[in-house]
Amino acid sequence: MHPQEQEQPLLVDSEEEQQDTAYDSSDKILIIGVDDADVDSWTRAPPFSWRKLWLFTGPGFLMSIAFLDPGNLEGDLQAGAIAGYSLLWLLMCATAMGLLVQLLAARLGVATGRHLAELCREEYPRWARMVLWVMAELALIGSDIQEVIGSAIAITILSNGSIPLWAGVIITALDCFIFLLLENYGVRKLEAFFAVLIATMAVSFAWMFGETKPSGTDLLLGILVPKLSSRTIKQAVGVVGCVIMPHNVFLHSALVQSRQIDRSKKGRVQEALNYYSIESTVALIVSFIINIFVTTVFAKGFYGTEIANGIGLVNAGQYLQEKYGGGFFPILYIWGIGLLAAGQSSTITGTYAGQFIMGGFLNLKLKKWVRALITRSCAIIPTIIVALVFDTSEDSLDILNEWLNVLQSIQIPFALIPLLYLVSKEQIMGTFRIGPVLKIVAWLVAALVIVINGYLLLEFFSAEVNGAVLGTVMCIFTAAYVAFILYLVSQAITFSSWRNPLQPKMIMDAQNCRMNLQ
């Protein structure tokens, strides 16, 4: 290592000018090792350091919030109430698949210094990237509506019903200002705030777990012994479909750029990838445990009961109170606190993701507060309309939630396919492209998720769509949808045959890197 690197502090703000839309150069954190003086970071990563792991910790936990949003919590409680403990193994497998996708997103961001939306803007023709942008925005809006309504439901619960749903939506909309305030204090302050929210969820749902005392034996059997029946197939599809969130793939590829690393040195890039992999794995293990708490609480209380099929976010707290009311602190409020933490954290990360998606696809050079307000308005305005329309009807909110799940399921291929072909290509990733085995596994996971969500869409539309006119419209939409997916796949196969605007520079950088390694 060069002597000047040893003299720099471990954690400082970088002053270097960077061509980057995810973070300004002044916002990035520069990590310089103090324990790797004897390591040649051109060729290999420095030795493991707990202190460095702590400094890299943050992006993975922000990413993991999408696995704990109100939509996922509703999927958890419905899986527990209807299928009992039998789908816990599938929840574990789905979390593992989600981890693989998120690690690939982090790999893309670290190795290239660009996030997924920026690379899509560079690599696809204008018409295709505009379609991808619209799809990403629709997925984000659909997710945000669920998150904001979930937070508003929690506010209604905690206020004993004195604050209606629409007012809760407006209160939740103000989290945009919390986000802007915290962002001004630096990345680490923002990450600390989300750590508090995740801890709040963990404590709340662990408390519920302790209050209801689910069966430990059934829990272990549910995780270790795969079971699936025709009666629980819908819940199984929902468990897998809720794990991979399209906007979260864009988000994670940008979050990892909050740490400034020297990408000219292979060892430094590999070091960042190693720490981000550890951090993301720990974050998703925490999210998996929290999801288990929710699923098993409702499995213990409502599996096999007459009301199992009618439980949703709106009435879950009341059913819990009727079943387990009393105690030191009413379980209704414990549920409300956990749900509020989930809703608030996920809406703020949704705002964050919206900034990266809009800025990356459109190459907008707007101030942070302007982008945040635009992104927030795109979701809050339709959410307020939804809250006013559906405020008094639990059944209507459940139907709305199903439609929003379908909306997000439709968008999944438009995040997964671009991600997989980008991380597979040497012109983009250099020596950090994924190998043949990982490529096959990743495409199999993507195909499985797309097929499962396709099944969900087929079942949903076959039940909901009636009439010749509407059926014809859906056939046209389906044909266009499948054609665009096939186009994206064909681009992944024939990528090297058409010109990449960044290809000459990237090839030169790769050649320089190889010369340095030699």
Q: Which residue has the higher pLDDT, 461 or 288?
A: 288
Q: What is the per-residue pLDDT for 41?
A: 58
Residue 18 has pLDDT above 70, yes or no: no
**pLDDT band for position 337 (50/70/90)?**
very high
305 Rama class: left (phi>0) / alpha (psi -120 to 50) / beta: beta
**pLDDT band for position 27 (50/70/90)?**
low
Q: What is the per-residue pLDDT for 15?
A: 39
The per-residue pLDDT for range 448-483, each reduced to its tens digit, is: 888 877 777 777 677 666 777 777 887 888 888 889
Residue 146 has pLDDT above 90, yes or no: no
The per-residue pLDDT for range 369-391, each reduced to its tens digit, is: 777 777 777 767 777 777 677 66
Residue 411 has pLDDT above 90, yes or no: no
Across the chain, how many H-helices and E-strands are there? 23, 3
Q: What percent of the chain has pLDDT over 70?
A: 83
Structure tokens at 49: 């350091």
Q: What is the per-residue pLDDT for 476?
A: 85
CB distance 163 to 333 below 8 Å: no
**pLDDT band for position 26 (50/70/90)?**
low
Q: How far apart are CA 6 and CA 9, in angstroms?
A: 8
Q: Which residue has the higher pLDDT, 460 or 61?
A: 61
Residue 412 carries which DSSP code? T
The region of weakest confidence among 18-32, 303-317, 448-462 is 18-32
Q: What is the per-residue pLDDT for 198?
A: 93
The Cβ of residue 17 has, within 10 Å, a number of other Cβ atoms equal to 9
Q: Which residues contact 391 (CB under 8 A, 6 or more apart)?
A: 164, 165, 166
Residue 192 has pLDDT above 80, yes or no: yes
Q: What is the per-residue pLDDT for 398?
A: 66
CB distance 320 to 301 below 8 Å: yes
Q: What is the per-residue pLDDT for 17?
A: 40
CB distance 453 to 405 below 8 Å: no
Q: How far apart are CA 242 and CA 234, in angstroms?
A: 12
Residue 3 has pLDDT above 50, yes or no: no
Q: What is the per-residue pLDDT for 8?
A: 42
The Cβ of residue 49 has, within 10 Å, a number of other Cβ atoms equal to 17
Q: What is the per-residue pLDDT for 505?
A: 46
- Burial pattern 435-467, b for ≥16 Cβ within 10 A else e, equals eeebbeebbebbeebbebbbbbbeebeeeeeee
Q: How far apart are CA 16 and CA 20, in angstroms?
A: 11
Q: How far apart are CA 377 and CA 94, in angstroms?
A: 32
Q: Which residue has the higher pLDDT, 347 or 7?
A: 347
Q: With the CA atoms of 492, 65, 84 and 407 taken in that order, what torsion angle do they form, in degrees rounded to the nearest 10?
A: -50
Short-list 83, 504, 478, CA closest to 302 = 83
Q: How far apart are CA 440 and CA 432, in angstroms?
A: 16
Following DSSP, what letter does each residue of 26-67 receive, concatenated? TT-EEE--SS-TTS-TTTSPPPP-HHHHHHH-SHHHHHHGGG
Secondary structure element (H or E) that encloses residue 12, with its range: strand 11-13
Average pLDDT, whole number, for the chain? 81
Residue 499 has pLDDT above 60, yes or no: no
The region of weakest confidence among 11-25, 136-150, 227-241, 404-418 is 11-25
Residue 96 has pLDDT above 60, yes or no: yes
Residue 510 has pLDDT above 80, yes or no: no
Q: What is the per-residue pLDDT for 327?
A: 65
Q: Which residues contact 206 (CB under 8 A, 6 or more apart)?
A: 293
The region of weakest confidence among 270-279, 306-315, 495-504 is 495-504
Q: What is the per-residue pLDDT for 229?
A: 79
Q: What is the per-residue pLDDT for 464?
A: 65
CB distance 474 to 461 below 8 Å: yes
**pLDDT band for position 280 (50/70/90)?**
very high
325 Rama class: left (phi>0) / alpha (psi -120 to 50) / beta: beta
Q: Which residue has the higher pLDDT, 178 or 133?
A: 133
Q: Roughly how many angstroms between the first and final C-alpha of the chain, as a whole number?
A: 16
Residue 28: phi and psi, rounded to 5, are: -75, 155
Residue 132 has pLDDT above 70, yes or no: yes
Q: Which residue has the higher pLDDT, 429 or 492?
A: 429
Residue 39 has pLDDT above 50, yes or no: yes
The region of weakest confidence among 8-22, 75-89, 247-261, 351-365 is 8-22
Q: What is the per-residue pLDDT for 14?
A: 41
Pairing of the two strands 11-13 and 259-260: unpaired
Q: How far apart are CA 322 and CA 326, in angstroms?
A: 9
Q: What is the per-residue pLDDT for 252?
A: 94
**pLDDT band for position 9 (50/70/90)?**
very low
Q: Which residues contact 476 (CB under 8 A, 6 or more apart)?
A: none
Q: Which residue has the tokens 């290809």?
A: 503
**pLDDT band for position 407 (50/70/90)?**
confident
CB distance 149 to 70 below 8 Å: yes
Q: Which residue has the higher pLDDT, 504 or 77?
A: 77
**pLDDT band for position 235 (50/70/90)?**
confident
| C-alpha triplet 280, 286, 288: angle, nearest 5° | 100
Residue 419 has pLDDT above 50, yes or no: yes
The region of weakest confidence among 39-43, 106-110, 395-399, 449-453 is 39-43
Q: What is the per-residue pLDDT for 127?
A: 93
The region of weakest confidence among 20-34, 181-195, 304-318, 457-471 is 20-34
| C-alpha triplet 30, 35, 39: angle, nearest 5° | 95
Residue 258 carries which DSSP code? G
Sheet hosting strand 259-260, strand order edge to edge: 11-13, 29-31, 259-260
- Burial pattern 367-401, b for ≥16 Cβ within 10 A else e, equals eeeebbbebbebbbeebbebbeebbeeeeebbebb
Short-list 273, 27, 19, CA closest to 122 = 19
Q: What is the per-residue pLDDT for 19?
A: 45
The residue count for the chain: 518
Residue 70 has pLDDT above 80, yes or no: yes
Q: What is the per-residue pLDDT for 268?
A: 86
The Cβ of residue 38 has, within 10 Å, a number of other Cβ atoms equal to 8
